[in-house]
Amino acid sequence: MIVPRSERLHPELGSIFFDDGKAIPGVAGAKDGAPMWICWPDGSADSELEFYLPGDALGPQSLERAVAAVQHRARIEAEGRRLSGSNVSLAWIDFTTDPPRVAFPDNDHDYVIWKGWLDENLAIRDFKEETW
């Protein structure tokens, strides 16, 4: 569950919040997960794009990688559209994994999502169509 008082402001990433990994009480099917930091580079939790960052309650890590992804976002999104040949949108980049994982839901098919990973040059690799 996101800890509201954990907010950190970053000049390029905006607000970053700690998620303690605890399931939200009363939500059916919810289960505990790994703690991480979450940010929405577009400025709000209503944004379509999320970044997941490693770190503990003391602070997020991999900020420089996340900043690089923001700076190259247009190229990453264009590459996802080109590789999928579909109407996709970048939904998240997970920096808690090495290499970072990317996901692009298909805007025309509700149950289709394209996933891959980013190499050191932020190019998408091993991009495959999956179902939710």
Q: List the pLDDT tens digit at each of the 132 positions of the chain.
A: 888 899 999 999 999 999 999 988 888 888 889 999 999 998 776 778 999 999 999 999 999 999 999 999 999 999 999 999 999 999 999 999 999 999 999 999 999 999 999 999 999 999 999 998
Per the listing, tokens 């091993």 go with 126
Nearest in space to 127 (alpha carbons), one of 72, 98, 85: 85
Q: Enter the pTM of the model.
A: 0.91
